[in-house]
Amino acid sequence: MHILVTGGAGFIGSNLIKALFGQDPKVSITCIDNFDPFYPVEIKQLNISEIESQAGFHFLFADLAKISSDELCELITDPVDIIIHIAAKAGVRPSIENPQAYQQTNVIGLQTILDFAKAKEVKQFVFASSSSVYGVNDHYPWKEDEQLMPISPYAMTKLSGEMLGHVYSKLYGIRFIALRFFTVYGPAQRPDLAIHKFTKAILNDEPITMYGDGTTSRDYTYVDDIVQGIIAATKYDLSDFEIINLGNNYTVSLKELIKAIEDVTGKEAVIKQLPEQPGDVPKTFADITKAEKLLGYNPQTKLKDGLEKFYQWFILNKEVVQ
């Protein structure tokens, strides 16, 4: 079994690769990453430090927005059974400042890897989409067939990715499974995300920024649960195209999150309140009925336990992640 994981040195990708090797040490995994400078390269190097010595691990430094599918075929000559496409330019707020870069990486990059899948006759393609495609929608919890009204360039590129996958599924018989992730957290979480930023600030006695009045809420999903859903999607074969929510099926307000991080760190936060940010939605809340039915998806990690695991990782690696 040869699996190609794009964005494999990032937060979710590195946790996924560790889990894949944990399930089958003999699996062959090619990891593509370009070490995007959105956050420090040292963190991505830390992410893959535990897996780069695995016999079946192969790393390929490449920017999918700049390389052609033909060039990719020349670099990856072995047959590929499954592609898990996680690589993307992340972040709602930065996408508003530089929408063209997000279009280039998230849409053109996906086009490249789909053309590669077509050329290599890959039959199973799992795509990391996002809950941000729902936009502002008060029909909670969100089902996959909701009307989609994205309100950021990042969200738009993820919706474009789902539709691009549908085209390739219909034209070329590639089974395309789009997984809409809901606010993933855990060890190796990106430093721009709230839990990482808040933990760092609290430990350093620095103020944390709270946008709005703290009542915005998110469906926080622990990374191991997301990885469980991704691996299940690689085995799904009952249809050729599906869009599936991967969330935790309950919401936590920003104020509740801050209190939970205070409890885990044993320190009180100093809060700097600012206006709400353009592109942010007031609430995310996943209906995971479809994931339970099609993938046997069953998230197990409570917020307190997940935050404790993140905190332990942060302390262990603070010289790199601070």
Residue 26's SS3 state is coil
What are the structure tokens assigned to 64, written together? 């999918």
Nearest residue to 310 via CA among 270, 266, 261: 261
- State how far the alpha carbon of 302 is from the alpha carbons of 5, 113, 149, 266, 316, in Å: 27, 35, 30, 19, 22
DSSP designation for 149: B
Output the DSSP codes for 58-122: EEEE--TTTS-HHHHHHH--S--SEEEE------HHHHHH-HHHHHIIIIIHHHHHHHHHHHHT-
The distance of Cα 106 from the centroid of its chain, to the nearest Å, equals 13
What are the structure tokens assigned to 118, written together? 């077509």
The distance of Cα 26 from the centroid of its chain, to the nearest Å, equals 25
Catalytic entry in 134, 154, 297, 311? 154
What are the residues whose beta carbons fall under 8 Å from the beta carbon of 55, sequence distance 6 or more?
Answer: none
Helix (H) or strand (E) holding 306: helix 303-316
Phi–psi pair at 37, nearest 5 degrees: -75, 15
First to last CA, the chain: 37
| Residue 222 a catalytic site member | no
Residues annotated as catalytic are 154
